[in-house]
Structure 1
Amino acid sequence: MPTNGLHRALRIQFGLVNDADRYLTAERFGFKVNASAPSLKRKQIWALEPGPARGAAVLFRSSHLGRYLAAGEDGRVSCEAERPGPDCHFLVLPQPDGRWALQSEPHGRFFGGAEDRLSCFATAISPAELWTVHLAIHPQAHLLSVSRRRYAHLCPQEDEMVADSNAPWGVGALVTLLFQSRRYCLKSCDGRFLRSDGRLVWEPEARARYTLELKAGSLAFKDCDGRYLAPAGPAGTLRAGRSARPGKDELFDLEESHPQVVLLAANRRYVSVRQGVNVSANQDEELDHETFLMQIDQETKKCTFYCSTGGYWTLVTHGGIQATATQVSVNTMFEVEWRGRRVALKASNGRYVCMKKNGQLAAISDFVGEFEAFTLKLINRPLLVLRGGDGFVRQRRGSSQLDTNRSGYDVFRLSFSDGAYQIRGRGGGFWHTGSHGRVCSDGDRAEDFLFEFRERGRLAIRARSGKYLRGGASGLLRADADAPAGAALWEY
C-alpha cells in the first residue's frame, strides 16, 4: 500500500443543524454563537476534538475562529476560549434518529435554542436541544472498512458495491456522499445509490438513505430500520447487517481521493508499466497498468505519479523514467506545464520528458515539441462536485445560472475529448459561457473546458476565452479570472 500520505483519512468537519433547520454559527464580534444561518459556510463549520482526559467528553472547535465552544454554570454559551477549559467539555448523546444532544459535562445541562437565544441550561432533552450533523468535507472520497482494511468499490459483474480492494484504484473506488433530508446517500461512480439490502438503485429511495453516526473519528451508516451498513461475506458486499449497534465491522473511514490519470503520447498509445519497470508509451487500452495516481506537493506544486504495481515514476541514470521508487524523493517529483489541451513534464534534472522512438519515456529534452507533449485524462471523476471558498457550485432553481456559494451541491457529469472536458448539468444541459463570462448549464451543444490540477485537491478550469472560472462576490460562476489562483481554484 502506498506511503507518504497517499492514504490519509479526512479530518471530519461538520455543521450542526437545529430543529428549525438553522446552523450553529460562531461570530467574530463578541465571540457569540447563534443558530440563524440557513446554509453551511465558513462560520458554521466545526471540528470535534477529544478532551484532554481519557473520558467521554469532547471539545467543539470553530474552524472559523479557531476557538472552543464553552457553556458556563449560568447556561451562557460563547466561542471565546483559545484554550479549552472545563466549561468547554461536552458529552455527545446520540439519539435514535441520529441527532445529537450536547450536554455540558461539568454542569449537566443540555445545549439548544433558536436564533440568538441559545443556552446550555435545559434539564431535559426536547426538540430544541437536538442537532443534526452535516459533514463539511468534500463529499467525494474513498470508503475504507475499518475492520477489514479494504476499500469499497463498484463491482459491475455482481452489480453491487464490495469492500475487498487493497488500494482504491480506478474509477470504481469513488464514492459520493449525498446529503438529503438530514440523511446521507452513498452514490457509486455510475450514479446509482446503495440500498440497505445491497442493491444499487437509480433513485435515492427511503432504503437508500442513512443516518450518519460518528464514533471514534470514524463513520457508521444506519438505515431506516436501525441496522448498520457493513461488509458481508467473503467478498465484503456492502449491506445492512443485523447489528443494532455500531461495532468495528460497521465503521468506515473516508480518505482523500487523489486524481488518477492516463497519459496519451504522440504515437497515440498509452503510457504504461505493463511490460516491466520502464515507463513506456506502448499500449492501446487504458487499464490498471496505464492508470497513475497523481499527487501534488502543496509547497512545490510538483507532482508524483504512483503506479498500480506499487512504485513511483523516478528519474534514473541517463534520463530514463522507471517505476521503481518506493519513497518520494527529488527524483520522483515532476513539474507539470499546462499547455492548453496538452501537458509537458519536467524532471528533476531540468529536462522535459519525451517519448523515444521505442516508446520509452526519458527526460532528455531541452524544449517542448511533438514528442514532449502528452494528453492527460482524469479517469476517476465521472461525477464532479466543485467547492470554492464560499460554498459549492449548484444550479439555481428555475434557472440555468450556476451559483458558487451554496451549502448543497449538484453532481455534474464529465466527458472527455482530445484534452478537454465537457460538463453536463442537471436536466442534461451542457455548461457554456455567455455574456460577461457568465457560465450557465443549459447548453444544447457541449463546450470544451480545460482542467489544470494546480494544487493538492484543487483544480483550475479554463474556458474557451482563455479565462479561468471564478466564484465572485455575487455568488455567480463566471469565466473572468486571468490566473489560476485564489477564487479560481476549486476542490473537486
Structure 2
Amino acid sequence: MPTNGNYPLKLQFGLINYERRYLTAEAFGFKVNASAPSLKKKQIWTLEQDSQDPQVVYLRSHLGRYLASDKDGKVTCEADCCNSDCRFLIVAQSDGRWALQSEQHLRFFGGSHDYLSCFAQVITHAELWTVHLALHPQANLLSVARKRYAHLSEEDGEIVMDRNIPWGVAALLTLVYLDGKYCLKTCNNRFLGNDGKLLVQSGRVTAYTLELKSGKLAFKDCEGKYLSPMGPTGTLRSGRCSKPGKDELFDLEESHPQVVLIAANGRYVSIRQGVSLSANQEEETDMETFQMEIDRQTRKCLFRSSQGNYWNLVGHGGIQTTATETSANNMFAVEWLGHRVALRANNGKYVCTKKNGQLLAVSDTVGEDEQLTLKLINRPILILRGENGFICHHRTSNTLDASRSIYDIFTLQFNDGFYHIKGVSGRFWYVSSSGLVCSDGDTPEDFTLEFVEHGRIAIRGRNGRYLRGDPGGTLMGDGLNPDSSALWEY
C-alpha cells in the first residue's frame, strides 16, 4: 500500500474509435455501439486485470457487465461475471492507441456505430481505440520505483518526486486531455515540458501519450522518450529510455482534502508543541495542516498530520496525533453549522477549545468554544464532476451545465468559513431568485462546502439550499438534501 494510505485510482476510461466515437454500453438489451460523440456515464469502462495472468484484462461497463466476444466475433456486454469470452489482451501501438484482442479466439475488436465485431485477423485503423481517462483529473502522482510523490518546486521551476506524503497544494497535479494526449499541469497553472521545465502554454513538448504497463501508467513524450524522476531530488523529465521500465512507471492516487482549523480563540490548531492538539498558532504551516479522510462506511472523518499520524482520542477526552493505525477512536463525526463545524469524538463528546488553547473532547453541547472554522487549502483551482458529468460554463448563457464531458477550471477563494467561486472570466457564481446558478456575478456570493462522503463534497448556497444537477443538465441551487444529484467529485 502506498505511503499516503491510498490505493491507486481504478483505471476508468472511454474508448474512442477511428471515427472519433466512444464505445457505449446501453442499458436496453446490454447492447454496445460506438456512436456517442462525448464521454459520459454510458461511455465509461473500468479495467480489471486477471489475478492469475496480468496480461489478461476485463472491460466492465457502467452497468457492471463485462464485454465479451464469441467464436463468431459477436460482441455482447451482458455477462455479470468473467468467463473465457471476456478475456482480452491489450496490444499497445506506438501512438498510444490500443488494439483489443480476444485471448480465447485471437481476433481483434473494432468497427463503428452498431456494427461492432471481434473477428478481424489483423489490425487496421478500424481496430484501433484511443484511450480517454475518465478519472477526476486532479490527483497525486506516485513514482513506482522511488515510492515518492510529485510536487511543485516553485523556486526551481520544476516538478520533483521526493515527498513521502503528498502534502499541500504543491502536490496537486491536473491531467489535461488534449486530442488523445495528456498534459501535466501544476497548481500554479504551468505545464510540464519534456525537458523538465514548466511552461505557461501547452504545446508539442508538453503533450504525452499515456501507456499502460501492468496496471501502471507511463508518459511518452513527442520524441518517443518517457518521463521519469531524475537525480537525487527526482526531477520529473524525459530520460533516454524508449521503453518504459520500473523507473518510468507511475500510479495516480486521489487527492484527499487538506485543511487548517481555526478555533474560537482565532488561533490555528497545531501539533507544533508536541503530539497533543492545541489552538495556539498564528500562521499556517505543515504543522497546522491536516488531511481529511472520510470513512466510506461511517462517513466519519479521520484527520492525519503531515507526520503521517492520525488524531486519536485518549484518556479524559484528550486528543493526540499518536495513532498509526485507524480505529474508532480516530474517527470524528463532523456537524456542519453553516460556515463553522463541530467535531464529535468517539466518546460522544464535542471537541472544545480550552482557555489555554488545548483541544479536548469533553462537551455535551455546541457553543462558541466548540465551533471551528475549517479552511480547505489544497484546492485553489476547482474541477467539479457530478453523477452526469462535469460542471462547465453554458455556451450561450450565464448559467452552468452540470453534465458535460469537458470541464472548466474554477477558482476557489476562502472568506471566514465561506467560499467564493470564480469562473474563467473573473466573474463570480451566485444563485438567482429562480434557483439557477449563474456565473456572471460582479461581487462574490458566499457558499459553504460540506465534506459529506469519501471523495465528494456538497455545496450550499446563501439560500441554505444545495447545488445540484437537474435532469436537463443545468446546475441549480435549490436542493433540499445532499443526495446523489448534489454530490460532486472535486
TM-score tier by shorter-chain length is: over 0.9
Q: Which residue of 1 aligns with 2:19?
A: 20
Q: 1:2 and 1:225 mapped to 2: Cα distance?
A: 31
Could you tell me how far 1:50 is from its partner in structure 2?
A: 2.4
Contact 1:144/1:152 (<8 A) preserved: yes
Q: 1:7 and 1:104 mapped to 2: Cα distance?
A: 32
Q: Which residue of 1 aligns with 2:78?
A: 80
Q: Which residue of 1 aligns with 2:60?
A: 61
- Tell me the secondary structure at the aligned position of residue 434 of structure 2: helix
Q: 2:112 and 2:80 mapped to 1: Cα distance?
A: 25
Q: Which residue of 2 aligns with 1:29?
A: 28
Moved more, 297-306 or 162-171: 297-306
Moved more, 166-175 or 198-207: 198-207
Question: What pairs with 1:36-435 in structure 2 (closer than 5 Å)?
Answer: 36-51=35-50, 53-54=52-53, 56-62=55-61, 64-435=62-433
Q: In 2 relative to 1, CA 445–93 (structure 1 residues): closer, same or farther, beyond 3 Å?
A: same
Q: In 2 relative to 1, CA 55–220 (structure 1 residues): closer, same or farther, beyond 3 Å?
A: closer
Counterpart residue type for residue 321 of structure 1: I
Identity %: 62
Contact 1:218/1:251 (<8 A) preserved: yes
Q: 1:354 and 1:266 mapped to 2: Cα distance?
A: 9
Counterpart residue type for residue 300 of structure 2: K
Moved more, 226-235 or 19-28: 19-28
Counterpart residue type for residue 45 of structure 2: W
Counterpart residue type for residue 408 of structure 1: I
Q: In 2 relative to 1, CA 46–110 (structure 1 residues): closer, same or farther, beyond 3 Å?
A: same
Counterpart residue type for residue 437 of structure 1: G
Deviations 1:412-453 (CA, angstroms, capped at 9, x unpaired): 111111101111112222112224211122222111110010
Counterpart residue type for residue 58 of structure 2: L
Contact 1:2/1:310 (<8 A) preserved: no
- Tell me the secondary structure at the aligned position of residue 157 of structure 1: coil
Contact 1:6/1:295 (<8 A) preserved: no
Counterpart residue type for residue 20 of structure 1: E
Q: In 2 relative to 1, CA 82–394 (structure 1 residues): closer, same or farther, beyond 3 Å?
A: same
Q: In 2 relative to 1, CA 251–52 (structure 1 residues): closer, same or farther, beyond 3 Å?
A: closer
Moved more, 121-130 or 466-475: 121-130
Q: 1:408 and 1:146 mapped to 2: Cα distance?
A: 29
Q: In 2 relative to 1, CA 363–409 (structure 1 residues): closer, same or farther, beyond 3 Å?
A: same
Q: 1:299 and 1:59 mapped to 2: Cα distance?
A: 27
Counterpart residue type for residue 315 of structure 1: L
Could you tell me how far 1:55 is from its partner in structure 2?
A: 6.4
Q: 2:83 and 2:417 mapped to 1: Cα distance?
A: 55
Counterpart residue type for residue 302 of structure 2: T
Deviations 1:56-78 (CA, angstroms, capped at 9, x unpaired): 3322222x222221122222111
Could you tell me how far 1:90 is from its partner in structure 2?
A: 1.8
Counterpart residue type for residue 246 of structure 2: K
Counterpart residue type for residue 56 of structure 2: A
Could you tell me how far 1:129 is from its partner in structure 2?
A: 1.3
Counterpart residue type for residue 59 of structure 2: F
Could you tell me how far 1:23 is from its partner in structure 2?
A: 0.8
Q: 1:121 and 1:176 mapped to 2: Cα distance?
A: 38
- Tell me the secondary structure at the aligned position of residue 79 of structure 1: strand
- Tell me the secondary structure at the aligned position of residue 225 of structure 1: coil
Q: Which residue of 2 aligns with 1:451?
A: 449
Contact 1:334/1:346 (<8 A) preserved: yes
Could you tell me how far 1:235 is from its partner in structure 2?
A: 0.9
Could you tell me how far 1:52 is from its partner in structure 2?
A: 5.9
- Tell me the secondary structure at the aligned position of residue 301 of structure 1: coil
Counterpart residue type for residue 37 of structure 1: A
Counterpart residue type for residue 240 of structure 1: S
Deviations 1:181-234 (CA, angstroms, capped at 9, x unpaired): 111111111121111111111222221111111111111111111111111111
Counterpart residue type for residue 18 of structure 1: N
Q: 2:51 and 2:416 mapped to 1: Cα distance?
A: 54
Could you tell me how far 1:2 is from its partner in structure 2?
A: 8.5
TM-score normalised by the chain length of structure 2: 0.97
Counterpart residue type for residue 281 of structure 1: A
Q: Which residue of 1 aligns with 2:10?
A: 11
Q: 1:52 and 1:8 mapped to 2: Cα distance?
A: 17
Contact 2:54/2:214 (<8 A) preserved: no
Could you tell me how far 1:255 is from its partner in structure 2?
A: 1.0
Contact 2:10/2:47 (<8 A) preserved: no
Kindly report the root-mean-square deviation, in angstroms, between the aligned alpha carbons of the 2 structures.
1.6
Q: 1:48 and 1:2 mapped to 2: Cα distance?
A: 20
Moved more, 146-155 or 109-118: 109-118
Moved over 4 A (4+): none
Deviations 1:81-121 (CA, angstroms, capped at 9, x unpaired): 22333322222111111111112223332211111111112
Gapped regions of structure 1 (runs ≥ 5): none
**Equivalenced residues, count:** 490
Q: In 2 relative to 1, CA 56–298 (structure 1 residues): closer, same or farther, beyond 3 Å?
A: closer
Q: 1:366 and 1:147 mapped to 2: Cα distance?
A: 49
- Of 473, 476, 480 in structure 1, the residue corresponding to residue 474 of structure 2 is 476
Q: In 2 relative to 1, CA 144–336 (structure 1 residues): closer, same or farther, beyond 3 Å?
A: same
Deviations 1:243-273 (CA, angstroms, capped at 9, x unpaired): 1111111110011211110001111110000
Moved more, 285-294 or 201-210: 201-210
Contact 1:438/1:477 (<8 A) preserved: yes
Counterpart residue type for residue 447 of structure 2: F
Could you tell me how far 1:161 is from its partner in structure 2?
A: 0.5
Counterpart residue type for residue 106 of structure 1: Q
- Tell me the secondary structure at the aligned position of residue 441 of structure 1: strand
Q: In 2 relative to 1, CA 156–267 (structure 1 residues): closer, same or farther, beyond 3 Å?
A: same
